[in-house]
Structure 1
Amino acid sequence: MKIASGYRADIEGLRALAVVLVILYHYEVPGISGGFIGVDVFFVISGYVITQLLQRNFENATFSFRDFYARRIRRLVPLFLLVSSVTFLMISPFYLGDAYYLFAKSWLASLVGLSNIYYFQELSQYFAPESRSLSLLHTWSLAVEEQFYLIWPLALYLAYRFGKGRDGHWPFRIMLVATFALSVYLADAYPAAAYYLLPARLFEFMLGTGVALFSRQLPVLGRLSAELLAALGLAMICVTAIVLTKHDHFPGYNALWPTLGTALVIYAGLHQSRTLTARVLSLPVMVFLGGISYSLYLWHWPPVALLHYQLIELTWTNRLLLIAIVVVLSWLSFRFVENRYRHRPWNLKKSFLIFILAPALVIWAIQSTIRIADDLSFRFSEERRELYRIIAQNNAADLYKRCFKAEPAQFNTSDACLFGAKPQDGQPDSMLIGDSHAIALLGFVEQLIGEDHSLLVVTRASTPFVIPEHSAAAFVDPEKVERNTALADYLQQRPMTVFVNAWWNSYLQSELYQTYFIDTLAWLDAQGHTIVMLEDVPELPSSSYAECLLKNMDDCSIDAADARLKMSNFLRFKQTAQQRFPDINWIDPRKVICDPLRCQTVLNGLPLYRDENHLNYLGSKEIGREYIERFGNPLRNIKQAR
């Protein structure tokens, strides 16, 4: 039986199946909970196809690294530049603040094949963005492929150059098992790294490369064996796409089923090109979709990311409309862009200059402009501009950044950080301490203190106040430890009214922080301070809800039950603290914006938030004004510091 070579329609069908699964998953079609495995199917196909290409070149002595990488650039980059540029224009009238800047950074990272590393780092941060609104998030998988293309040609070239006459089975098998074991380990120990980075996906490419490398040495399949293997492989892909969910261990052992299934389909087609599976995959519609699969993959995600950002529901009408638009765009861009440039006889230098270096400079200039510019509100209509400024340009930490210029261990106690009444003898009688959530409540606290108190603000992002005894365990960053030590020294000088706040929902997930904060309250109480615990406002499902007025939403509220559920750890901590320290005062800004059913993100026509868990400065002040109007000023009933 002659082994099939060259073009294979069934592989185009596999590409179509892979991209359709990804699209159905991202468009939240019911029943396709594991459609993300389409990416892994692509990885196996890429390993197979690229290895076949390299083998032919090596055997014919026609391989050139320069030609190989020039072809890769012309094949992948022109269409990416088109899609990403259209995406930039599409999101510009809508994306605010950090979301706009994050796009620009991801744009550059995607162009140079590093978006998987960029997103791994960005989404692992303390203030990680809402991933569903990241317009180029899907390019992480393209970066993984491009990184594979960097290492595999050289590895295979060296094997051909120095490994002739040697049995390559065992080294390959050892590497395949080792990379699979690495994937299982990383998926368990470092799931984010496993998902985004090449090492945990390497075995998937190797399944494809193995079929290509050893196709002449693998057993020849008869018709029945090929039918069974091909059907089994297709079933493994489809069942995994239906059964798996985003909460399952992945990649690791769960990635083995669809990738091994893909390898089985490819292997069966080498010997029998007319199996039932091959005929299904070779249907004209599958071949058509497979041919434009790269275009489909690039185009499908940006519009749905914009819908997520705009909080527009993915109804069936929206899904079908999106699919139709994406298919038409993909066919047009395949015909007039992808095919137009991939066959140009341009060398590596010319391809690199035109498609990577020149665009990189333009994108870098755009990124720098977004980063440096104080006001990009010209992108919005006049009626939306003021709302944009309230949401995006009213971060109290930015408005009063002169207060945060001192060294962490020598926090600023000058007039730049003083609010309310003028301090007597230069000594304020109250302090606001905590992290970025504390400074976000500055406007609220200002309304409470009025001209009755002199307030010193000592806050630092990601640095809640815990006593020095616990700081070394609580923080890896030595500057944060020094900061809290210096703050503790200051707080020991005299009794004051101390307003305390932190991102309670985040820190109190840890039992250790429950202990740290209880001990800190005990310490503050022992110093004779009047402690005012500021509770936090509800967290929003995403930062997009902070901009609901800009999105023309009819309802800017969120479910109060969901908000309370997120606060369960804090409420448990509060109960413990109240039992141990009954004299501590608690002020709850949620009383203003929440009823038993809903919590508002807009008050008196004013947007309150700047992201999913921070108030903007004007919103914070508005909650303070409304609190006093409805419930009176709680500070008038508080016993002052001893």
Structure 2
Amino acid sequence: MEYRKEIDGLRAVAVLPVILFHAGFSWFSGGYIGVDVFFVISGYLITSILIKDLENGRFSIAQFYERRARRILPALFFVMMCCIPFAYTWMIPQQFKDFSQAFVAVSFFSSNILFWAKEDYFAPAAELNPLLHTWSLAVEEQFYIFFPLLLLVLWRFGKRPIFYVVLGLSCASLLLSEWGWRNSPSANFYLLPTRAWELGAGAMCALYNYHRPIKANKTLSTLGFCLILYSIFLFDESIPFPSAYTLVPVVGTALIILFCSTGTLVYNLLSLKFVVGIGLISYSAYLWHQPLMAFARIEIFPYPHWTTMLALCFSSLALAYLTWRYVERPFRTKNGSWINSRAKVFATAFVASCAVFSFGFYGHINNGIPDRIRLSAEQSAYLSTATSSPMRNKCHASADNPIKPQNACRYNNDNATIAVFGDSHVVELAYALGEQVKGTDIGVAHFSFSGCAASYGNRDSSACSEWANNTVSYLIDSDEFTHIIVSYRMAAQIWGTPLGAYPNLPTIRSEDKANPVIESLRNTLEDIAASGKQVIYVDQSPELPRSIQELVYADRIINGDVQGLSRDWWDAFNTFFNNKDIVPKFVERINVDKILCDDEVCYAGKEGVSFYFDEDHLSVEGAKRIADLILSETDILLER
């Protein structure tokens, strides 16, 4: 296949936005689409090589995987090994356990499956995972288990039938992603079936272009470049991905592959020597950037300054050059390294994978090796009380685990008169209320949905909106309940999370994004109250700048109490919500700050008791204090 330096330039356009996005630069809010650009490029290049081999009668599965091993594994394993001492020294046990699990998953190229089960890519905690980015490598390698075999089987029918088969499969994958983001967003993001169409788009470009000269088209190549730039600067984490929106960067990449050639403006830009140079080291740059930034966020309290993150962006490129020069390039060919035979490649890959697996398995079964860190009795007490509800897995609904309202969990008494409704931040509150009313005939019903902002009244087809509409209707129609307790993580819906921003305020979201959530909450409270039930709104608990575990391990304990954040900062964070007059006057409002804060500080824990089990969810012990406040300030107990 003829070398196209503009494709290497396109790699630079893919990797730089990813790096800047993960560094937290808001201008590159859609920088994550660089991964989608990589998928299309990969599908194009690999398919071009495969069909050339097939046409020349020298296709070999063993040779194909030898090339993949030489291309992918040396730099990957080298970067992973470099991460170990920093992880061992700086990570708290849960982080180190997650890190170890990623080692196990990477050894099987299944880290995307692990992160599907554990991570939200856009969640703040993901920023602390040094190996989160390996999910995309796993998707690619899983694709290349099946795709060469598909080409081999179909080759006898010719390139045109292959093109239409790939087109059909890609369309099915795209349609599945449209279903997936509405019904199982995490699986949709991480798993191969909803990503395959992006690699398929590149494969179709290769099939179309093969034995055809690139026809330069200034208009179409420029349009493609503009589509990619549009995605980088105007997309953000609120855009469902992958979905039909992903067609924007994918089609943009395809247009450049198909129509960018000598004489076009895009070719001139992508062929610049320094742009091509960044493209050549893009794989190593992609490998290095996430560990550097994750470890910086772990070690620097509360968060690295933007100048530090910018320096790490440049460091990623510097380390990438060294890795490309001394690790990637020497291993790519038989003549370039001591691994000069296929047998040695596979044997070395097997031994290295076993070593990676063994390290990860040891860290996993030893729960992150907590003995690495010496703790005081005070620290141990706080950690032992940073616990979530034992009923969270069973009773908390999600897109992957929908729970119908009539099947909601009941605590203390099956004949519930109290209903607790909201997002994941009411899970512990519902359980704690059930515990606190023991000895009475009061029952507590638990209605919560993970990551589901106030969405009652929305008519979209998402699992969140469907659950919210069904549940609020159930609460309104039911004669069972006398009191409905509602709570949401509203400040985060307006501002986003303080993680990564504190002690500064994050950028407020546009009113177009905040107002629908605000209106939905107001409608929820009003409509339930109109049904004759007493509605109680519980304000959001303060959000910590770091998880309670990180604060405790960092020994942020002053005079026996774990310092959380400034009360002035938390008040400023809530100003927008409070000024909107969202909670109607006829709804009882519980201000939790009187329990969790004083005039100067909002606490993560006091007197050896953690109020949280992570950075924003109350622990069972913290929720018990809020439950007691509710019971003392309302007529729930008086009516029994």
Query: Structure 1-normalised TM-score?
Result: 0.69
1:254 aligns with 2:254: no
Contact 2:381-2:608 at 8 Å conserved across structures: no
Residue 425 of structure 1 is matched in structure 2 by none
CA deviations on 1:162-185 (whole Å, 9 max, x unpaired) are 314875454444444444333334
> 1:346 maps to what in 2?
342
**Paired positions, count:** 532
Q: Quote the residue 1:280 is aligned against.
A: 269
Q: Structure 1 residue 87 and structure 2 residue 83: aligned?
A: yes
Q: Residue 21 of structure 2 contacts residue 31 of structure 2 at CA under 8 Å; is this kept in 1?
A: yes
Secondary structure at 1:61 match in 2:
coil
| CA distance, structure 2, for counterparts of residue 389 and residue 54 of structure 1 | 57
**For residue 51 of structure 1, what is the amino acid of its counterpart?**
T
Match for residue 565 of structure 2?
A: 556
Please give the secondary structure, in 2, of the residue aligned with 1:305.
helix
Distance 1:537 1:184 in 2: 32
Shift in CA distance, 77/388, structure 1 to aligned 2, threshold 3 Å: farther
Q: Distance in 2 between matches of 1:516 and 1:259?
A: 44
1:363 aligns with 2:357: no
Q: Which residue of 2 aligns with 1:245?
A: 236
Letter in 1 for 2:551: C
2:157 maps to amino acid = G
Which of 10, 28, 33 is matched with 1:37 structurally?
33
- Residue 600 of structure 1 aligns to a residue whose secondary structure is strand
Q: Which residue of 2 aligns with 1:315?
A: 305
> What is the Cα deviation at residue 39 of structure 1?
0.6
Please tell me whether the aligned partners of residues 123 and 129 of structure 1 are also in contact (alpha carbons under 8 angstroms).
no
Partner of 1:134: 129
Give the deviation of 1:562 after TM superposition.
Answer: 4.6
User: What are the ranges of 5 or more consecutive residues in structure 1 without an aligned counterpart?
Assistant: 398-435, 437-458, 466-470, 525-532, 579-585
Kindly tell me: are residues 461 and 573 of structure 1, through their superposed partners in 2, closer, same or farther at Cα, counting changes over 3 Å? farther
Shift of 1:313: 3.7
Partner in structure 2 of residue 182 of structure 1: 176
> 1:448-459 counterparts in 2 under 5 A?
none
Q: For residues 254 and 534 of structure 1, do their structure 2 counterparts lie closer, same or farther at Cα, with a shift above 3 Å needed?
A: closer
Shift of 1:63: 2.0
What aligned pairs does 1:465-480 form with structure 2 within 5 A after superposition? 473-474=404-405
Q: Contact conserved, 1:377 with 1:389, CA < 8 A, in 2?
A: no
CA distance in 2, matches of 1:178, 1:58: 26
Q: Which SS does the other structure have where 2:289 is aligned?
A: helix
- The structure 2 residue matched to 1:8, chosen from 4, 7, 32, is 4
SS in 2 for 1:246: coil
For 1:87 and 1:562, locate their aligned partners in 2 and report how far apart those are by CA, in whole Å: 35
- Is the 2:151–2:162 contact (alpha carbons within 8 Å) kept by the matching residues of 1? no
| CA shift in 2, pair 1:314/1:183, >3 Å | same
Q: Is the 8 A contact 2:22 2:290 kept in 1?
A: yes
Counterpart code for 2:265: L
Closer/same/farther in 2, CA of residues 65 and 323 from structure 1, 3 Å limit: same
Contact 1:46 1:208 in 2 (8 A): yes
Counterpart CA distance in 2 for 1:602 and 1:503 is: 27
Matches within 5 A, 1:137-536: 137-160=132-155, 162-164=156-158, 167-216=161-210, 221=215, 225-269=216-260, 272-309=261-298, 312-343=302-333, 344=339, 345-347=341-343, 349-370=346-367, 376-379=370-373, 388-395=379-386, 436=389, 460-462=391-393, 473-474=404-405, 496=440, 510=468, 512=471, 522=482
Which segment drifts farther, 544-553 or 293-302? 544-553
Is the Cα–Cα contact under 8 Å of residues 44 and 199 in structure 2 kept in the other structure?
yes
Q: How does 1:596-607 map to 2 (within 5 A)?
A: 599-603=602-606
Residues 1:169 and 1:537: Cα distance change in structure 2 (over 3 Å):
closer
Q: 1:514 to 1:460 in 2, by over 3 A?
A: farther
Amino acid at match of 1:139: T
Q: How far apart are 1:385 and its partner, in Å?
A: 5.0
Equivalent of residue 108 in structure 2, options 109, 112, 118: 112
Q: Which amino acid aligns with 1:226?
A: N
* Alpha-carbon separation, structure 2, partners of 1:472 and 1:180: 27
Q: What corresponds to 2:596 in structure 1?
A: 593
Deviation sequence 1:470-500 (CA, Å, 0-9, x none): x9844769xx679965999x99xx9648797
Could you say if the C-alpha distance between residues 385 and 286 of structure 1 is closer, same or farther in structure 2, counting changes exceeding 3 Å? farther
Q: Percent identity between the aligned chains?
A: 28
Tell me which moved more, 185-194 or 21-30: 185-194
Which residue of 1 is the match for residue 55 of structure 2? 59
Q: Pick the aligned partner of 1:123 from 113, 119, 124.
A: 119
Secondary structure of the residue that 2:99 maps to in structure 1?
helix
Return the alpha-carbon distance in structure 2 between the equivalents of residues 354 and 330 of structure 1. 25
Q: Counterpart of 2:24 in 1: which secondary structure?
A: coil
- Secondary structure of the residue aligned to 1:42 is helix
User: Cα distance, 1:620 vs. partner?
Assistant: 8.7
Cα 1:37/1:505, change in 2 over 3 Å: closer
Residue 591 of structure 1 and its aligned partner are, at CA, apart by: 1.6
CA distance in 1, matches of 2:445, 2:269: 61
Contact 1:556 / 1:602 at 8 angstroms: preserved in 2? no
Take 1:535 and 1:588, find their aligned partners in 2: how far apart are those partners?
Answer: 7
Which one has the largest radius of gyration? Answer: 1
Going from structure 1 to structure 2, the CA distance change for 1:615 and 1:377 (only over 3 Å counts) comes to farther
Which amino acid in 1 is paired with 2:130?
S
Deviations 1:327-361 (A, max 9, x none): 22212222222233333323364144223233213
Q: Distance in 1 between the 2:328 and 2:359 partners?
A: 21
Partner SS for 1:370: coil
Look up the equivalent residue of 1:186 and give its one-letter code. Answer: G
Q: 1:247 to 1:496 in 2, by over 3 A?
A: closer
Kept in 2, the 8 Å contact 1:48–1:210? The answer is yes
Assess if the C-alpha contact under 8 Å between 2:18 and 2:35 holds in 1: yes
- What secondary structure is seen at the aligned counterpart in 1 of 2:195? helix
CA distance in 2, matches of 1:207, 1:47: 7
Alpha-carbon distance in 2 for matches of 1:505, 1:590:
24
The equivalent residue for 1:527 is none
Separation in structure 2 between the aligned mates of residue 504 and residue 482 of structure 1, nearest angstrom: 14
Report the CA distance shift for 1:592/1:365 in structure 2 as closer, same or farther (over 3 A): same
Partner Cα separation in structure 2 for residue 47 and residue 547 of structure 1 = 41
Q: 1:321 to 1:587 in 2, by over 3 A?
A: closer
Q: Is the 8 A contact 2:189 2:241 kept in 1?
A: yes
Q: Would you say the 8 A contact 1:36–1:241 is kept in 2? A: yes
> Matched residues in 1 for 2:42 and 2:394: separation?
46
**Distance of 2:383 and 2:473 partners within structure 1:** 33
State how far apart, in whole Å, the 2-side matches of 1:188 and 1:505 are. 14
Q: Deviation per CA, 1:285-317: give whole Å up to 9, x if none.
A: 112211111111111112322344455445331
Relative to structure 1, is the Cα distance of residues 53 and 169 closer, same or farther in structure 2, using a 3 angstrom cutoff? closer
> In 1, Cα distance between the equivalents of 2:638 and 2:171?
68
Contact 1:230 1:268 in 2 (8 A): yes
Helix, strand or coil for the counterpart of 2:342? coil
1:125-158 deviation digits (Å, cap 9, x = unpaired):
9xx9832322222111111111111111111111
Q: Is the 8 A contact 2:225 2:252 kept in 1?
A: yes
CA RMSD of aligned residues (A): 4.7
Aligned to 2:527: none
